[in-house]
């Protein structure tokens, strides 16, 4: 994707999993990558990996549940590279696992603050910058659970549904200004979010995917980068599953 070359791409949650895979793929196509994560060691490792492969990147630590951190990401990107062309709002957590009646208020708020409010907090300054430029592409991280329910994950499900609605609305509001906004919805992917699960539970999750396996982070990253590119120039306001057939059931 030659049109990615030279563009400035911001990736939140880039320290591991899908975010790391996307940051590295943007860099492989020649983008200047602004790597962000709340985990400083992981974020710096992603940046180091890109630099060692001859790519261009720098790291800004950020907690996306804090509006000022999200604004700082955009100002940092513009301060370093003069513009912001692409944003992948990927940062998120699995959060508390409990039925609704047993879920703590703190657990609910934590997931909503990071997985939904964090996307809004990031999009607001990103859109403001892209409006000035007259062009931009934003990809938001939703989930298959942005389309269906899942036991004991009410906050996560609500947040990911919310991301889809936020994405569609932003696309409607800013398409005429040259800005495209889309959402991706991975199924269960081999990332650190699944590290706490037992092998037995992982096998149960595998059985829910008609392809017979979990997804891999680079498989999601390929779609994210495509949606960020000019090859997707007529695609906006859409949700794309990367789910091994999960939602086909």
**In angstroms, how far is the first alpha carbon of the chain from the final one?**
33
| Pairwise CA distance, residues 77 & 5, whole Å | 16
Q: How far is the CA of 118 from the CAs of 18, 65, 67, in angstroms?
A: 17, 5, 8
- The tokens describing 125, both together, are 């300054």
How do beta strands 136-141 and 86-89 pair?
parallel
Distance in angstroms (rounded) separating the CA atoms of residues 90 and 19: 6
Cite the active site residues.
Answer: 156
Nearest to 127 by CA among 180, 76, 82, 58: 180
Residue bearing tokens 């261009």: 56
């Amino acid at each position: 994707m030659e049109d990615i070359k030279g563009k400035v791409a911001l990736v939140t949650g880039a320290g591991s999993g899908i975010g790391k895979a996307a940051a590295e793929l943007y860099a492989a196509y020649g983008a200047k990558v602004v790597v962000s994560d709340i985990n400083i060691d992981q974020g710096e490792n992603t940046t180091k990996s890109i630099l060692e492969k001859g790519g261009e990147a720098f790291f800004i630590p950020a907690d996306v549940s804090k509006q000022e951190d999200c604004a700082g990401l955009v100002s940092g990107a513009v301060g370093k590279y003069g513009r912001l062309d692409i944003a992948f709002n990927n940062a998120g957590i699995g959060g508390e696992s409990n039925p609704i009646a047993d879920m703590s208020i703190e657990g609910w708020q934590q997931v909503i603050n990071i997985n939904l409010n964090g996307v809004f907090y990031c999009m607001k300054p990103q859109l403001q910058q892209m409006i000035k430029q007259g062009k931009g592409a934003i990809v938001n991280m939703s989930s298959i659970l942005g389309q269906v329910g899942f036991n004991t994950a009410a906050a996560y499900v609500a947040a990911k549904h919310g991301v889809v609605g936020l994405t569609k609305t932003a696309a409607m509001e800013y398409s005429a200004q040259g800005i495209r906004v889309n959402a991706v919805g991975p199924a269960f992917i081999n990332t650190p979010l699944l590290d706490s699960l037992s092998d037995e539970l992982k096998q149960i999750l595998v059985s829910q995917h008609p392809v017979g396996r979990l997804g891999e982070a680079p498989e999601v990253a390929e779609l994210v980068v495509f949606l960020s590119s000019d090859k997707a120039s007529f695609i906006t306001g859409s949700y794309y599953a990367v789910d091994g057939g999960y939602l086909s059931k």
